[in-house]
Structure 1
Amino acid sequence: MNILFFLTPKSDVAFLYEDFTLRQALEKMEHRKYSAIPVLNREGEYIDTITEGDILWEIVRKHDFNMAKAEKVPLTEIKRRMRVEPVSIDVKIEDLMLKSMEQNFVPVIDDKKKFIGIVTRKDILQYCFEKLDRCDRQMSKEAIEPSICQITKYGNSANDKRLQ
């Protein structure tokens, strides 16, 4: 399976540029209702992800927070508590799933290190749930109705005592 199946393309993802200010980050995160958001450079390369926690700790350290001051704080000055590493487009699904257990989304980059989108934990879980649900339904159906293989293996089902 290819990770492109799960990818939310960059065009559908809100992100910040590293030269944005704290105020711009807060406004975009509030508008999109994001708790974490990718940060790119102006060439489109993934730099890292900034979280509400990163911003909160920056505010706590400064004590006298206000929006006018936030306008002047570049994202590059905010210390990250956790480094969110991107994956390449050819990552193994197993590795993608492991990364998604640690973070809400996994940033995806191409072979030139350009940010191309994200894969969300929700998308992976939804895919897995649908697969499991299909398997459960198939197993339930096979337990109730004999499969074609069972019928043809033993001949005519009307004559096969095991299926009666």
Structure 2
Amino acid sequence: MNIVMLLKPKETVAYIYEDSTIRQALEKMKAHSYTAVPVIDEYGKYVGTVSEGDFLWYIVEKQTQGMKSQEKYFVRDLIRTDFNPSVKISVDMKELYERALNQNFIPVTDDLGVFIGIVTRKDLISHFVDKSKL
């Protein structure tokens, strides 16, 4: 099976740019009620995922308070390179399932590293359940 059938396209997914301020990113996450969100660069390439915990620890480290003070800090400073790695669109289902064991969603890129969407753990489980009914 090709993962395209499970892909939520970029246009339907909330994401943030690495040069967004902490405030902008927090407001977007709050508006969508997400606990983690993909981050892309100005060229659309996937650079990582940031989570609520990343924001919390960064704010504690910087000892800042209030949303206004978050306007001088940027998302690119939060990104952990080993957190929520992406897969290429050509990934096989076994690898996708293995990633879903540790990630709520799996960012998907094209062969050039451009972010094209996500596959959610929920969609993978639903697909597996539907397939097992056959």
* Global fold match (TM > 0.5): yes
Which fold has the larger relative contact order, with Cα–Cα distance below 8 Å and residues 6 or more apart in sequence?
2
Partner residue of 1:17? 17
Q: How many residues align?
A: 134
Output the amino acid matched with 1:48: G
Indicate if the aligned counterparts of 1:58 and 1:79 stay in contact, CA closer than 8 A.
Answer: no
SS in structure 1 of the partner of residue 119 of structure 2: strand
Residues 82 and 54 of structure 1: CA distance in aligned 2, closer, same or farther (over 3 Å)? farther
Counterparts of 1:81 and 1:19 in 2: how far apart (Å)? Answer: 16
How far apart are residue 79 of structure 1 and its match? 5.1
Counterparts of 2:57 and 2:104 in 1: how far apart (Å)? Answer: 19
How far apart are residue 82 of structure 1 and its match? 4.8
RMSD, aligned α-carbons = 1.4
Partner residue of 2:54? 54
Residues 48 and 81 of structure 1: CA distance in aligned 2, closer, same or farther (over 3 Å)? closer
Counterparts of 2:66 and 2:8 in 1: how far apart (Å)? Answer: 34
Name whichever structure is richer in helix by fraction. Answer: 1
1:70-103 CA-to-partner distances (Å, cap 9, x unmatched) read 1111112225385221100110100011011111
TM-score, normalisation: structure 2? 0.94
Q: Where does 1:118-157 land on structure 2 (aligned, <5 Å)?
A: 118-132=118-132, 134-135=133-134
Indicate if the aligned counterparts of 1:105 and 1:118 stay in contact, CA closer than 8 A.
Answer: yes
**Structure 2 residues without counterparts, runs of 5 or longer:** none
